[in-house]
Amino acid sequence: MSPQPLQSPLHFYHYHSPIQTQTLPDSVYIILEVEAFNATLSFCTPHMALLHKLAPFTSLHTPSTKTSHSPPPRRRVISFSASPFTEKHSLERYQRDQWVYESTIQEGQSQTTPFPLPCDSASLREHDIALQLPELKKLLQVLREKRECGEEGCVPGNVFLVGTGPGDPELLTLKAMRVIKSADLLLYDRLVSNDVLDLVGPDARLLYVGKTAGYHSRTQEEIHELLLSFAEAGATVVRLKGGDPLVFGRGGEEMDFLQQQGIQVKVIPGITAASGIAAELGIPLTHRGIANSVRFLTGHSRKGGSDPLFVSENAADPDSTLVVYMGLSTFPSLAQKLMLNGLSPQTPAAAIERGTTLQQRTVFAELKDLHEKITSTQLVSPTLIIIGKVVELSPFWPIPTKEESCLIKA
């Protein structure tokens, strides 16, 4: 059916629900019709549904004495995949964010047949947002009623941009832990690890706003509006980002937008992937006599092509360390440009998938051979790439030298 516009500060649309539940003796089966983004969990055929047996969620099907805006009991997320992160339409995501689908689930219980789900990613994204709209509006209303108001008006809430590090929860700062536990609402990205999300307090609401190649659950502008709407309602809003929020995390854009709207923003730094992963491998990003500087590059292409955004001649400095974020798809072009600009093909390099997590995988090679190693090992995102002579200092560097390394000097 055609979408019916609803007036809302979030400017979304309402569709019928594809999510239904049926109660069984000791479990709940949730029917999730989701698009198959090359995932084994989902199908994208009209009226095709996937049944997965989850841990009991009595709040989904048992009458409760609590009001509709009371948070459901928190359950530890059971991992159904090898990834330590939230992958697109994973069951972990829907299990973690179940509160925002509560109205949809209640509506779905009265339906006898599932509705077809659009198969293109744009329509699917709008569909998923629409399912969340009723509970988001309820939560906004509850927060507005609770906020402090005086003669000078209502006091807005605070927004915290919190870096959660590259994945290992023990790399969180104490300040990040304190803020995470005090939040009313946490908007989290894909690369905030499941282990970190397990630390969130039982009364907090979690909402996934992550982005992956080809599918953005929220546009950046929609994330801005979510942050603003809930801050204006008086909530303590925590924006969780992998790594550091101000290193390729678009935290600066969110901070600038909110400050222009009069919202106070506090930034809590996190250990960026370059530092955390290099330390894990024993790679010093700088080293006296070997690397006198370090440069962070984004491997993203603005139009989704195979070329990185920008590679200057200075990036090929043999006395500098290069760390490439989000560079898997553009690495062949990046490596070629670096070598054309004078960087030796024998420069040591490493590619690290899911660094600092239990699922970490690493390949070492000289620059000219690294792409072939990445391909043969089938590394996937997120993968960090480190290029420079310091890589050879890692105790894991596998390539023997004919004579004592020239890197070890007095």
Active site residues: 189, 211, 326
Backbone phi, psi, residue 138, to 5°: -60, -45
Report the DSSP pairing between strands 153-154 and 211-212. unpaired
From CA 222, how far away is CA 229, in angstroms rounded?
10
Given CA atoms 171, 174, 176, 181 in this order, what sign does their dihedral have? positive
> With contact defined as beta carbons under 8 Å apart, do 117 and 19 qualify?
no
Strand order in the sheet with 348-353: 293-298, 320-325, 383-387, 348-353, 361-366
> With contact defined as beta carbons under 8 Å apart, do 344 and 367 qualify?
yes
DSSP 3-state of 390: helix
CA neighbor of 59 nearest in space, from 29, 90, 102: 102
> With contact defined as beta carbons under 8 Å apart, do 247 and 272 qualify?
yes
DSSP 3-state of 408: coil
Residue 50, both tokens: 């996937």
Residue 127, both tokens: 């569909």
Q: What is the DSSP string of 152-173?
A: TEEPP--EEEEE-BSS-GGGS-
Residue 375, both tokens: 């391909």
Alpha-carbon distance values, 6 to 11, 128, 130, 233 (Å): 7, 15, 10, 19
For residue 260, what are the contacts with CB-CB under 8 A and spacing of at least 6? none
Residue 237, both tokens: 């809003």
Given CA atoms 14, 19, 24, 27 in this order, what sign does their dihedral have? negative
Residue 33, both tokens: 């019709």
Backbone phi, psi, residue 391, to 5°: -60, -30
